[in-house]
Structure formats: structure tokens, C-alpha cells
Amino acid sequence: MSRKIRRRKILKGLGVAGVAGLAGCAQAGEDTPTEEDSGGDGGDGEDMSTATPTDESGDGDTDTETDAGGDGGAVESRTIRLGILMGVTGQLSDLGPPIRQGAELAADYMDEESDTFTVDYQFEDTATDPNTGISGAESLVSAGYPMIAGALSSTVTIQTANNVAIPNGVVECSPASTSPAITDLEDNGYLYRTTPTDALQSEVMTQIGRERLEASTTATLALNNDYGQGLADAYVSAWEDAGGTVQQEVSFEPGASSYTSQLSSALQDQPDLLMIVGYPDSGVRIFRDFYNDYSQDFCDVIVPDGLQSGSLPGNVGNSMRNVWGTAPTSTGPGRDTFDSLYQEAYDSDPSESPFTGQSFDAVAVLALANAAAGENDGEAIRDQMNAVANEGGEEVTPENLAEGLEMAASGTEVNYQGASSAVEFDDVGDIAAATYQFYRYQEGGFEVIENIEYSA
């Protein structure tokens, strides 16, 4: 078996300039279609991904050479097969590319660091559209990928899970789908997520609104999909439970040329706080319309992760200093290693984009479960997801991820401690606790005020 040159050994020899040179020379493999616009806030806008070579036999498990495992046992060299299904165009064209980079970073890192495992992955763009997502998921399943990192939009994740992943026995792990509706999905154990449910985020937003912004009345303006309506409903419930008054609940469709009417309806009773949930694609138009008709002093606004974008004030043409926000952030034991790897690969700070750490963790957990299963079989991988993530066993972090694969494959019990969190799954595949950024928009981007820990 040919020995792979390890990423960290290369980096030590080349320094910063060499790293930049390597990144600039990366080419997309045959299994990784590139989209025309892979820019956004993640890196320099280039498509930096590389798909590792696929196994020529098609089953990914034909390499019969063995290496010493993590506990001294023999581990068979083989290929781990992974699908990546994420929206990098459409409504998530601003947020999606850095999240994709987090996923591909994990796959490339394991492939380069491991002398035993090859990681073969294929990317499909959902265009933040359920029908396109279903088509992409079908392509991955048809190509023989037993596990999928994705999707991003909650609506796309629910549709791809119900129509493709669950019926075909394929494990799906989303790094960014936060809708509470996912919790109660009848998924037969095939759907997981490394990001917390918005049932938690709604509590955090309410706490900030009631205690820090001293608001007693609120209104909601929410995107009409599973993400927008799920978070808005949870927020309304949390706000009323906290003794506040919800004056108006207004929904909107994406891609409208104007949101003046919806804003007028939401703000007609002059709430202390307006909660807006959506994506930057529509958010730019919403905030332009807001500042055309209202001043920053009219009311405070609070937004969730879907509207966290450093380019938003510039695109809107306003400092947006009356806009506050929350977003799941990465504070896991492997955060420092992940930050370093991401910075080296993309010359960008991952903390400037939401869900990058969660994306790395989704791929890492799937790969560890695959290694523990010993085969590219969805049911076998599903049965190992909790085992490799939850408490008990040898600690595996992003730093020793390649060694973790060998330990899991040799039968050693492992406990993945991620970049975003400890990645502890409950009995329905949700993360039970999370840390949220509390941030505020300002000229040129946003400022993180503090991190808030929250658990169910």
C-alpha cells in the first residue's frame, strides 16, 4: 500500500506562503461538480475542494491490505464513502460555501492523515430547493454513498430524508438544519444533526429580548418554510411563557421585489422588538425596505443564524446597529485544531460564518461510525452513530481524527469530542446542549458580544 504524505508534515515544511500556494493549486476531482458561484463569506471565493479518487471496483471495500489498529489489532485498509449535500446557491449562496468547506476539510484531512483509510466523497448542490435537493440525494444514493452530510435548509433536509435517505437506508447528518419539526420526524434512526434545535435558540432569543433589550412586546416576520415557521412558532411560545406580548405574526415568501407590506403589518402596533427569520438573499431586501420607511430608533430587531452574514450591512447600505442576533457557535474541545486547519486551508476565519464547525463534526462522526461499522452500509453505520459520539471510550478530537478511525475500526470504543461541541446525541439524534453567539451588527459586519451556553 502506498504511504500518504501527511498534511501536518507538509505544513511544517512549507510555512504560510507554501500553504497558500497549495490551496491555490487545488483542483476539483471528477466526483465533485463545481458551481459557478462558490463565493460568499468563506475564504476567497474559489472552489477549494478536492474529491479523493473513487474505488475502481465501486464498492469501496476491496483493498485487503491491513495495518495495525488503534489497540494493536489488524485493521483492513478500505475506502469510506461519503456524500455531501448542501445548498451553496439559491437562498444560501452567502452562507453555504463556508459550510461546504468545513465538510470537505474534514474529509480531506482524514484522507490525507490516515495511512489506512481513503475517504471518497461526492458533492451535490441543493440550490436551497427541496426538489433539487431530492435529485442530488438520489444521485448520491445511486452512486453508492451510504451516508450524507447535509442538507443545510431544514425544508431540504426534511424532504431529502423523507423521500430518499430514510427509504433507502442512508444515514443523513445535517450541520445546519435547526427546525424543531426534525425532532419528531419518523426517521427510523437515520437522521442526525450536529446543530441544536431552534427550540433552544428561541429560548435564547427570548432571554436576550426580555432581559437585555428590555422588550415587553414583540412581532415576528418569518420565511414561509420549515425553518422560518418552526423558529417563529417556538419563539412566540417562549416569549409568551416569559410573560411578554406577541402583537403580530407575519410570514413572507422568498424572492419578492418588496417587503414593505409585510413590514407594515408586522410593525403596525409598534413592538419593542421585531424578530426576523430568513436567509440573506431575502434579508437584504427586507432591511433595505425597513430603513427606507423606519429609523434605527423605531425598534430593535433580533435575527437568528440564517441572517448572520458579515456582508449584510454593506449590501443593505446601513450600519444596522439596531439589529442583534444569535447563532450556534463552535466551542467544542476540538475548536482550536479546527480553526487552525480551516485557516490554513482557506485563509479565512471560520468564526465569521455559522455552522462551519458543525459541518466538520457531521463528516467526522459519519466517518467514525463508518469505520466502526466496517462497511459502507447505511444500516450498519446508523447503528454506530451514538456509539462513536456519546460518552464512554477513548477520546477522539479533530486533532487525532485519523487515529480515531483506526481505533473505531479495530473495535475500540471511542468518544468524539468535536469542534462545535461535545457532539452528544439524544435518543432522536438531536444535540441536547449548545453555545450561542450573541452578536450585534455594525458598519462593516457584526460584533460578537459574548457566548451564551444553553441546554434543554
Domain of 87, CATH number, reads 3.40.50.2300
Q: Percentage of residues in the chain with pLDDT exceeding 70? A: 84
The string of pLDDT tens digits covering residues 128-155 is 999 999 999 999 999 999 999 999 999 9
Amino acid at 89: T
Q: Are residues 250 and 392 in the same domain?
A: no
Instruction: State whether 321 and 349 are in the same domain.
Output: no
Asked whether residue 2 is domain-assigned, the answer is no
Would you state the pLDDT for residue 75?
Answer: 79
The Cα-based distances of 183 to 154, 180, 388 in angstroms read 11, 6, 21
Rounded to an integer, what distance in angstroms lies between the CA atom of residue 391 and that of residue 401? 17
Q: How confident is the model at residue 22 (pLDDT cuts 50, 70, 90)?
A: very low
In degrees and rounded to multiples of 5, residue 455 shows phi and psi of -140, 160
Query: Does residue 374 lie in a domain region?
Result: yes
Question: Alpha-carbon distance 435 to 455, whole Å?
Answer: 9
Distance separating alpha carbons of residues 197 and 178, to the nearest angstrom: 5
Task: State how far the Cα of 110 lies from the Cα of 245, in Å rounded to an integer.
Answer: 50
Q: Please write the tens of the pLDDT for every residue from 379-430.
A: 999 999 999 999 999 999 999 999 999 999 999 999 999 999 999 999 999 9
**220 shares its domain with 306:** yes
Q: Pick from 383, 419, 320, 326: which is nearest to 99 by CA?
A: 419
> Could you read off the pLDDT of 40-56 as tens digits, one per residue?
333 333 333 334 334 43
Same domain membership, residue 438 and residue 322: yes
Name the burial class of residue 56, with classes exposed (0-12), middle (13-18) and buried (19+) by CB atoms within 10 angstroms of its CB: exposed
Of 79, 2, 69, nearest in space to 403 by CA: 69
241 and 221 housed in the same domain: yes
Task: Please check whether residues 399 and 366 belong to one and the same domain.
Answer: yes
pLDDT in tens, 234-277: 999 999 999 999 999 999 999 999 999 999 999 999 999 999 99
In this predicted structure, the answer to whether residue 57 has a pLDDT above a threshold of 90 is no
Q: What are the residues whose beta carbons fall under 8 Å from the beta carbon of 12, sequence distance 6 or more?
A: none
Q: What does the alpha-carbon distance between residue 245 and residue 242 come to, in Å, rounded to a whole number?
A: 9
Q: Check if the beta carbon of residue 429 is closer than 8 Å to that of residue 187.
A: yes
- Mean pLDDT for the chain? 87
403 assigned to some structural domain: yes
pLDDT confidence of residue 15: 30
Domain count, the chain: 2
With beta carbons less than 8 A apart as the criterion, state whether 302 and 213 touch: yes
For residues 409 and 351, the answer to whether their CB atoms sit within 8 Å is no
Neighbour count for residue 245 (Cβ, 10 Å) = 14
Degrees to nearest 5, angle at CA 78 with 73 and 80: 115
- Other beta carbons less than 10 A from residue 27's beta carbon: 11
Same-domain status, 208 and 191: no
* Confidence check: pLDDT of 377 > 60: yes
Answer whether residue 2 shows pLDDT above 60.
Answer: no
**β-pair type (147-150, 414-416):** unpaired
Tell whether 141 is covered by a domain: yes
Separation between Cα atoms, residue 416 and residue 132, nearest integer Å: 32
* Residue-range definition of the domain harbouring residue 53: 7-196+331-432
